[in-house]
Amino acid sequence: MSGIHATAVVDPKAEIGTDVEIGPFSVIGADVVLRDRVIVGPHVVITGPTIIGEETKIYAGAALGGDPQDLKYRGEPTRLELGARNIIREHVTLSRGTQGGGGLTRIGDDNLFMAGSHVAHDCQVGNHCIFANYAAIAGHVHVQDRAILSGFVGVHQYTRVGRCAMVSGGGMVVQDVPPFCIAQGDRARLYGLNIVGLRRAGMKLAGIQALKAAYRELYHQGLPMRIALEQVREVYSDVPEVVELVEFIAGSQRGTCRSAGTDAASE
């Protein structure tokens, strides 16, 4: 049984699951799939092809699955896919992909998008992420699991934000933010590890201590990054979290944010 308000407009080609609620004056377009127990508030517009996962809740004025804001887009079919249990607050905008970016914007499970936040075309967002008010990521950005973007953060296109990383309020990110780190400022620099986030994610003390030591060697010993990465990789090859940090930095195409402290290693 679905509860669709009399003023809502639902295209016959939309697929509506069980126990779905659609509020007043909302518009659900063709090729939209609302999985079971999705709640759509008033004045929401969802354009297809878009899939909204189970138990997702969408608040007033959100616009999901709209055409990508890309001048190269020519109307080709592309998609937006959301996993389960996401919370989409007021006036959030999530765009579909573009053909040049693979045709898909993909968002995982259990994310919170606060009012006014934006995910552009061809982005990949993991699970348990938080986008605070008016945080915005440009096209082709990858945000890994449990990352936090604070209020008014902006992320440049083709940039990555690593797992359990946090970008503080107003940060402007133009290079990759390594996993487990805190970045802030314009242009964002690193200010150590996101210790609170790591504890909340259930990371064990041994892993946190190893990350602290690896961070010091990478960013505060004055070594060229190539050499620092080799040394850290050798010493901590049995610590998965440190290996993840090293591989993220080594695989960066845009370069990573520099440290706010001694940062000869980031040159």
CATH number, domain containing residue 135: 2.160.10.10
**Which of the 8 DSSP states describes residue 49?**
S
Which of 112, 140, 168 is a domain's end point?
Answer: 140
> Which three-class secondary structure state does DSSP give residue 266?
helix
pLDDT at position 83 is: 98
Same domain, 122 and 212: no
Question: Residue 147: which residues within 8 A CB-CB, separation 6 or more?
Answer: 126, 129, 130, 161, 162, 163, 164, 165, 166, 167, 177
Among 29, 41, 116, 139, the active-site one is 139
Candidates 210, 215, 209, 212; CA nearest to 229 is: 215
Evaluate whether residue 161 is within a structural domain: no
Separation between Cα atoms, residue 180 and residue 203, nearest integer Å: 11
Evaluate whether residue 152 is within a structural domain: no
Separation between Cα atoms, residue 140 and residue 130, nearest integer Å: 18
Domain limits at 127?
Answer: 3-140
CATH number, domain containing residue 226: 1.20.1180.10
Number of domains in the chain: 2
Evaluate whether residue 171 is within a structural domain: no
Same domain, 131 and 205: no
Beta-bridge mates of residue 52:
34
- State yes or no: is 192 an active-site residue: no
- State yes or no: is 31 an active-site residue: no
Which of 123, 140, 157 is a domain's end point?
Answer: 140
Which DSSP string corresponds to 201-231? TT--HHHHHHHHHHHHHHHSS---HHHHHHH
pLDDT at position 159 is: 98
Candidates 56, 60, 97; CA nearest to 80 is: 97
What is this structure's pTM? Answer: 0.94
pLDDT at position 261 is: 75
Q: How far is CA 58 from CA 34, 38, 82, 231, in A?
A: 11, 8, 12, 47
Evaluate whether residue 180 is within a structural domain: no
Among 70, 110, 122, 176, the active-site one is 122
Chunked in runs of 10, what are the mean pLDDT values of the chain (267 residues)?
89 97 98 98 97 98 97 94 98 96 96 98 98 98 98 98 98 98 97 96 96 96 94 96 98 95 46
Which of 140, 165, 186 is a domain's end point?
Answer: 140
Evaluate whether residue 23 is within a structural domain: yes
pLDDT at position 26 is: 98
Same domain, 17 and 87: yes
- State yes or no: is 121 an active-site residue: yes
pLDDT at position 267 is: 36
Evaluate whether residue 170 is within a structural domain: no
Among 43, 118, 121, 140, the active-site one is 121
Same domain, 135 and 215: no
